[in-house]
Amino acid sequence: MLLSHPTIGRLVLSAAVTCALAAPSYAEDILIGVATAQTGGLAPYDQPSLAGFRMAIDELNAKGGLGGKYTAKLAIKDTRTDTAATITAVQELVDAGASIIVTPCDADATIAAGQITVAKRIPTLTFCGTAPVLATAVGDNLFGTYPGDNLQAAVIADHAYAKGFRKAYLLVSPDSSYTAQLPEYFAEVFKKKGGAVVGTGSFTMGQPDFSAIVTAIKALPEQPDLIMTAAYEPDFPAFIQQLRAAGVTTTVYGADAIGTATVQGLGKLVDGTVYTAAGYPTPGGALEAFNKRFATTTGHAAESAYEANGYEIGLILDAAVKAAGSTDPIKLRDAIAGLDKLPIVTGTITYAGTNGMPVRAVSLIEYKDGKPVYIATQTPAAADVPAAAH
């Protein structure tokens, strides 16, 4: 197909028009570039995060802007869950003069984005990426916002040890950073406290049959009193059903990805299973209040903790702009890195003293009689959180 000249002309024209229409940043504005996956495999995480983030920015702008001074302009681009498209989108946002970049929940897309923003040290925040390595892979301008895998694992290990568990079995899958590394972080903290790991099993995400692993657990010379995994659907339900069917009653702990209706629906099978969340909407608490406000503002209920987390990024940026008193990216980066116990919806968040993955509250929840029961919200000391696995 050879394009005729009029077609090329129209394309050039439309490109020129759209470029001209891209919002220019004025003296009292701050341009925030949002390059996240609104379509594709990451959309279930990035869409709710964006909804919460936009709500925060709208509210802050109504109150005079970030730091009460700078009206925030959002330039939003869809990366279609594609790393190369993320690079292009971030480059365009940097070209347009963005002072802050928000990236997808995926660690490698965030790292790829960070390689572009690192040159100007533009602060780059991932929506809900939890792999601790993303904060250290490129430079000090990358920040996590959601509880990192290592942070969650530290809270779970702490709780497990306090409950009297001493011998753990790890169920990992090399198929994702989350399923591979989180149990390992758990083991690190658990062992430091005095616990022991008596075995490790590996599964393939999506495998229907866990009988080999169940048999291996039953045959262990030293029976574990806890099984730790970061498996989620459909693996977690499949595993626990087959485990219980084989007569193994050992308690199973998981992480934030099993806080779903499906797992809750397993009823008695998951009795005693403890998992984490970025927050828990306790009656009368701040998260419940946020969820209500979110539902009124957007017209639909919050589906997950990601809405609140997206909203909290708005609060983080507001505090950073206030502290920096400027829209200069480097000053903003320094301001974020210096945030200490900033009050947010689910508790407080601290970047000071970390390498970019925040220390923040993690809620522990336990399934009892098919219902999630809130245990506690904990904020571990930065020193207790295991270092990011490189």
Partner 1 sequence: MRGLSSGMKVALVDAAAMALAVAVVAGLIAAFGSAGAQRVATHAGLLLVSVVSLQLFSGNTGIVSFGHAGFAGIGAYVVGVLTMPAAIQATALKNLPVLLAGYQLSLGSALVIVAVIAVVLGLATGAVLMRLTASSASIATLALLVIIVTVLVGAREITRGSQPFYGVPRGVGLATATAAAAIALILARLFRDTRTGRMTRASADDAVGAAAIGIDRRHGVLASWTLSVVGAMIAGGLTAQYIGAFKPQDFYFDLAFETLAMLIVGGLHSSFGALVGVGATTLLIEVARRLEEGGSFFGVEVPPVFGFTEAVLALAMLLVIWRRPEGLSGGHEMELLRRLVRLRPPAPAPEPDVRPPAAMLTTRAVGKRYAGVAAVADITLALPTGQVTGIIGPNGAGKTTLINLIAGQAAPSSGGVYVDAAPLAGLPAFRVARTGIARTFQNIRVFPHMSVLENVMTAAERIEPNAVAAERAARRELARLGLADHADRLAGTLPYGERRRLEIARALVTRPSFLLLDEPAAGMNPVETDALMAILAEVKRVRGLGIVLIEHDLGLVMRLCDRVAVLDHGRLITEGPPAVVRADPMVVEAYLGSRTSARALARLSEQTQ
User: Is 134 a residue that touches partner 1 (CB under 8 A)?
Assistant: yes
User: Is 182 a residue that touches partner 1 (CB under 8 A)?
Assistant: no
> The tokens of 55 are what?
């709500």
User: Is 262 a residue that touches partner 1 (CB under 8 A)?
Assistant: no
- Is the CB of 78 or the CB of 318 nearer to partner 1? 78
Candidate residues 31, 72, 100, 112; the one interacting with partner 1 per rule CB under 8 A: 112
Side-chain half-sphere exposure of 226, counting CA atoms within 13 A: 26
Least distance CB 271 / partner 1 (angstroms):
31
Residue matched to tokens 């891209």: 22
- Is the CB of 119 or the CB of 295 nearer to partner 1? 119
Least distance CB 206 / partner 1 (angstroms):
12
Candidate residues 9, 15, 24, 371; the one interacting with partner 1 per rule CB under 8 A: 15
User: Is 98 a residue that touches partner 1 (CB under 8 A)?
Assistant: no
User: Is 108 a residue that touches partner 1 (CB under 8 A)?
Assistant: yes
Residue 367: count of CB within 10 angstroms of its CB? 24
Candidate residues 49, 55, 78, 359; the one interacting with partner 1 per rule CB under 8 A: 78
Least distance CB 159 / partner 1 (angstroms):
26
**Candidates 89-97, 184-192, 255-263, 302-310; binding stretch for partner 1 (CB under 8 A):** 89-97
User: Is 200 a residue that touches partner 1 (CB under 8 A)?
Assistant: no
Collect contacts of 67-71 with beta carbons under 8 A, ≥24 apart: 67/318, 67/321, 67/322, 67/324, 67/325, 68/322, 69/28, 69/321, 70/28, 70/29, 70/30, 70/321, 70/327, 71/28, 71/29, 71/30
User: Is 83 a residue that touches partner 1 (CB under 8 A)?
Assistant: yes
Least distance CB 343 / partner 1 (angstroms):
31
User: Is 92 a residue that touches partner 1 (CB under 8 A)?
Assistant: yes
User: Is 207 a residue that touches partner 1 (CB under 8 A)?
Assistant: no
User: Is 115 a residue that touches partner 1 (CB under 8 A)?
Assistant: yes
User: Is 228 a residue that touches partner 1 (CB under 8 A)?
Assistant: no
Least distance CB 204 / partner 1 (angstroms):
8
- Letters for 18-57 (x = contact with partner 1 by CB under 8 A, - = none) are xx-xxx--------------xxx-----------------
Candidate residues 174, 265, 267, 343; the one interacting with partner 1 per rule CB under 8 A: 174
User: Is 387 a residue that touches partner 1 (CB under 8 A)?
Assistant: no
User: Is 163 a residue that touches partner 1 (CB under 8 A)?
Assistant: no
User: Is 71 a residue that touches partner 1 (CB under 8 A)?
Assistant: no
Q: 3-state SS of the chain?
A: CCCCHHHHHHHHHHHHHHHHHCCCCCCCEEEEEEEECCCCCCHHHHHHHHHHHHHHHHHHHHCCCECCCEEEEEEEEECCCCHHHHHHHHHHHHHCCCCEEEECCCHHHHHHHHHHHHHHCCCEEECCCCCHHHHCCCCCCEECCCCCHHHHHHHHHHHHHHCCCCEEEEEECCCCHHHHHHHHHHHHHHHHHCCEEEEEEECCCCCCCCHHHHHHHHCCCCCCCEEEECCCCCHHHHHHHHHHHCCCCCEEECCHHHCCHHHHCCHHHHCCCEEEECCCCCCCCHHHHHHHHHHHHHCCCCCCCHHHHHHHHHHHHHHHHHHHCCCCHHHHHHHHHCCCCEEECCEEEECCCCCCCCEECEEEEEEECCEEEEEEEECCCHHHCCCCCC
**Candidates 10-18, 242-250, 256-264, 275-283; binding stretch for partner 1 (CB under 8 A):** 10-18
- Is the CB of 93 or the CB of 337 nearer to partner 1? 93
User: Is 180 a residue that touches partner 1 (CB under 8 A)?
Assistant: yes
Site for partner 1, rule CB under 8 A: 1, 11, 14-15, 18-19, 21-23, 38-40, 75-78, 80-85, 87-88, 91-92, 94-95, 107-109, 111-112, 115, 131, 133-134, 137-138, 174-177, 179-181, 389-390
